[in-house]
Amino acid sequence: MKTEVRKIEDLKSEVAQDALAEAGKLLRSGQLVAFPTETVYGLGANGLDGEACARIYEAKGRPSDNPLILHVADRAMAETVAAEIPPMAEKLMAAFLPGPMTLILRRKSIVPDRITGGLDTVGIRMPESAAARAMIRAAGVPVAAPSANISGRPSPTTAASVLRDMDGRIPLILDGGPCRFGVESTIVDCTGPVAVILRPGAITREMLTEVLGGVKLDPALVGAGTVPKAPGMKYKHYAPKAPMTLLEGAPAKMAAAFRRQVRQLQKDGHTVGILASDEVCDALADFVPDALRKSYGPQGDLSAIAAHIYEALIAFDDTEADALLGEGTTEVGLGLAIMNRLHKASGFHTIQI
């Protein structure tokens, strides 16, 4: 299959409108379309068509027990698939939607069993991205979409990275430029008495607490040994090809700690790559060649870091690096989402400095 990439950055333009109409047509006919959102690129299919959704699992190599979330353009579309919208979900919708958040709600029977992994709930996401919502409107149905990567690889935040994983597997990629947030949506389970964060994201725990008064973290996010409630969170995720070790601790001590670790690894014969702040990358210029130093942004600039971690991880796959060192951040605010992804990318391999 030939994969076409069509630009939609200027949404109002004729080229973009044509591409969106084409995407709508493909989705209605059961085909897959990759599209930009404010978090990461999604791999979309008609969410009411079980057979179309089966193609998503095939294209990604995704385990079939991992449910898909449904993307909707507006509240009315959400109501076609959610059996009820409890008061806490109402509050969250009013405060944060459209935006980078997915709500787990009881589902209606119209949602195909194929996509729910046997659960009686469904994840509903109303993206902030105008491009994503325009595409959903063009399709006229809720769009099931996981991140547009091969299962187990970092989520793509550019059309080029989608193409890298999906070339030849899908007919169309809509290119809306780089994604603003860079980490997947916050997943909030609204089916119990208290809201539970199943996956941290750009709508932070602090923001949720302010609106709801109280919110819990899925215990699986805090310690190992518990089965996460979002089935997808149990898989090893976001794995770069070279194994990564995460250094955690005070920012001021990072550069020195990196220097020590790099020296040791190099002595052991490794080609070391570092994924770190501008500060640490600059400090390591004498030890690690340019191509093996990927900066994710200035130390402490969590928005910049979130927006760059996946592309930086992906970039290492084109290098000779056979050992990666990553720089950890705070777990406050957006830092919780960043550290969740970095912990997974490193298989929880960390060194406290």
143-144 vs 69-71, strand pairing mode: antiparallel
188 touches 198 (CB < 8 A) = yes
89-128: which residues touch Mg ion (CB under 5 A)?
Answer: none
Query: DSSP letter at 193?
Result: S
Residue 245 phi/psi, 5° resolution?
Answer: -115, 135
For the CB of residue 28, give the shortest distance to ligand TXA in the complex, in Å: 19
- Scanning 2-10, 66-74, 244-252, 297-305 for contacts with ligand TXA by CB under 6 A, the matching segment is 66-74
Q: What are phi and psi of 229, to 5 degrees?
A: -80, -25
Among 31, 102, 158, 295, binds ligand TXA (CB under 6 A): 102
- Taking the CB of residue 29, how many other CB atoms lie within 10 A of it? 11
40 scored as a contact of ligand TXA (CB under 6 A): yes
Position among 147, 157, 186, 346 found at the interface with Mg ion (CB under 5 A)? 147
CA–CA gap between residue 46 and residue 144 (Å, rounded): 6
Give the footprint of ligand TXA on residues 184-243 (CB under 6 A): 184-185, 187, 198, 229-233
Q: Is the Cβ–Cβ distance between 296 and 308 less than 8 Å?
A: yes
Q: In angstroms, what is the minimal distance from the CB of 117 to ligand TXA? A: 7
CB count within 10 Å of CB 65 equals 11
Taking the least distance from each CB to ligand TXA, the nearer of 82 and 272 is 82
Instruction: Map residues 254-283 to x or -, x wherever contact with ligand TXA holds by CB under 6 A.
Output: ------------------------------
Stretch that binds Mg ion, among 19-27, 42-50, 79-87, 138-146 (CB under 5 A): 138-146
- Contact between 53 and 41 under an 8 Å Cβ cutoff? The reply is no
Residues that bind ligand TXA (rule: CB under 6 A) add up to a total of: 27
Residue 223: count other Cβ atoms within 10 Å of its Cβ. Answer: 7
Size of the site for Mg ion (CB under 5 A): 2
By CB under 6 A, residue 147 contacts ligand TXA? yes
Burial class (CB in 10 A: 0-12, 13-18, 19+), 32: buried
The residues that touch ligand TXA, with contacts defined as CB under 6 A, are 37, 39-40, 42, 66-69, 102, 104, 119, 121-123, 125, 145-147, 184-185, 187, 198, 229-233
